[in-house]
Amino acid sequence: MSARLLDGRRVAETVRAEVAEGVKRLAGSGAAPGLAVVLVGNDPASEVYVASKDRAAREAGIRASTIKLPATATEREVLDVVARLNADDAVDGILVQMPLPKQIDARKVLAAVSPGKDVDGFHPINQGLLLEGHPRFVPATPRGVVELLARERVPLEGKDVVVLGRSTIVGKPLAALLLTKGIDATVTVAHSRTRDVAAHTRRADVLVAAIGVPGFVKADMVKPGAVVVDVGINRVPDATAPKGSRLVGDVDFAPVSAVASAITPVPGGVGPMTIAMVLANTLDAARMRRA
C-alpha cells in the first residue's frame, strides 16, 4: 500500500482564496478586517511564524499589524497592550504569540484578550463553548486538521479517532471538536502516561499525532488502511541538509506511508492549514462584530 498524500498546501491555498473573497465583500461595506499580533521577545521560530501570518493576512486583504515587545517586557506591559487592542475598533482579531517569557503568566494574558477578538480560540470562554459543542473560535491547528480531512473527503462520522497528545493548543481542543454534532467521531486521547499506547493507535481509523517526539509513530503502531495526520514539527540534525538540520514530524513517515491509506507530510501538511485557519477565524470575528 502507498498512502495518498493529504496536501495541506493545496487545500490551504483554496481556503485562503475563499477568505480573500470574503474579505473583499466585507470591505465593500466598510473597513477590511484587522488582525493584531503581539510578539514578546526574539524567539527565531516565533518570528518566522509571525512573519508568515502577517504576509498571509496581507495577501488576503486583512489589515495586519505586529506589536513587538522586548524579552524583558513585564506582564503589566503585555496586559496593557492587550487592553489597548481590545478597545481598538479597527482590530477584529488578536493573537498573542506563544511562548511568552518566563516572567509573564501566559494564562493571565490569554484570559485578558476579549473573547470576541480571540481568534486563537484560547480564551476560557471560547474553550468552554467548544467543550459545550457550540464553538465560536476554534484554535487554528485543530480547526485546520478537521478542515483538511473534510476537504480531502476523509469521513469522520462514527470513526475511531485516536489523538496522541493532550495539549491545550492541539490535543484537547481537537478532541472536543471531533466530538461535536455534525462531526460525530468516537475519540480516544492518549498521552505520555498512557499504558500501551500502541494498543490504542492500532485500532484507530484516523490517527492524529501531536505528541512532540520526532518519529514517535512507527508502522507497527498503525492499523492498515488508517488515515494518519502528523501535527508534529521537529527540527533534527542532518549533515546532508543545507542548514545542518531538517524538519520532521511525529510520524516515521516512509514506513507508515506503506501501511496507511492517507497521510499528511511534514512540512506541507497541517502547517499551512494552521495559518489559513487564523485568517478564517479573523474573517469570522469581523463578520460577528459587524452583524
- The pLDDT assigned to 29 comes to 80
Four-CA torsion 226, 278, 122, 39, nearest 10 degrees: 120
Unique residue bearing C-alpha cell 485516536: 162
Confidence of residue 291 (pLDDT cuts 50, 70, 90): confident
Catalytic residues: 53, 97, 120
- The pLDDT assigned to 245 comes to 86
Please give the average per-residue pLDDT across 114-134, as a whole number: 97
Confidence of residue 286 (pLDDT cuts 50, 70, 90): very high
* Residue 26: half-sphere exposure toward Cβ, Cα within 13 Å: 25
Q: Which set of grid coordinates corresponds to residue 245?
A: 538540520
Q: How does pLDDT run across 181-234, given as a tens digit for each residue?
A: 999 999 999 999 999 999 999 999 999 999 999 999 999 999 999 999 999 998
Confidence of residue 1 (pLDDT cuts 50, 70, 90): low
Q: How does pLDDT run across 141-177, given as a tens digit for each residue?
A: 999 999 999 999 999 999 999 999 999 999 999 999 9
Q: Which set of grid coordinates corresponds to residue 119?
A: 481568534
Strand partners for 207: 162, 228
Q: How does pLDDT run across 248-280, given as a tens digit for each residue?
A: 999 999 999 999 999 999 999 999 999 999 999
Q: Which set of grid coordinates corresponds to residue 171?
A: 490535543
pLDDT above 70 as % of the chain: 100
Domains delineated in the chain: 32-114 (3.40.50.10860), 140-271 (3.40.50.720)
The reported pTM is 0.95
**In Å, how far from its chain's centre is CA 244?**
27
Q: Which set of grid coordinates corresponds to residue 258?
A: 506503506
DSSP assignment string, 83-136: HHHHH-TT--EEEEPSPPPTTS-HHHHHHHS-GGGBTT--SHHHHHHHHHT--S
- The pLDDT assigned to 185 comes to 98
